[in-house]
Amino acid sequence: MSDSLVFRALGSDLRLRLFTLTLRRPYCVQALSRVTGLTESAISQQMRVLRDAGLVTAVKHGYHTHFIADRQALSATLAAFSAETDGIDFEPNACGCRESDRECRCGQQEG
């Protein structure tokens, strides 16, 4: 599992929502379809991305496949990201504040 795959998988609002649901309890595609209002086909495609990223595991229960979030995979990725970004001092904007360009609330325009 690559950290970039994990972040790419969670970069979609829908996949983030599906992953969050599977953190609470196992879900099958049919149940996720009912909860989200999307087709089973759409859910299956999104769950495949999460599974390929190592964020969920699929467990067969008869006809249905239940998806379970892999909390350890998420924790490992977050720990690696935290270690990589530890100690980074973000450069201030031209105006001197440290807010991102879109969130700069100091009232000055970047030059």
The architecture (CATH level 2) of 3-85 comes to: Orthogonal Bundle (1.10)
Lowest-confidence region among 21-25, 32-36, 79-83: 79-83
Evaluate if residue 32 carries a pLDDT over 60. yes
DSSP secondary structure, 6-48, as one string: HHHHHTSHHHHHHHHHHHHS-EEHHHHHHHH---HHHHHHHHH
Evaluate if residue 111 carries a pLDDT over 60. no
Q: Note if the pTM is more than 0.85.
A: no
Q: Where are the domains of the chain?
A: 3-85
Q: What is the pLDDT of residues 37-65, one digit of tens each?
A: 999 999 999 999 999 999 999 999 899 99
Q: CA torsion 21→22→25→26, rounded to 10°?
A: 130
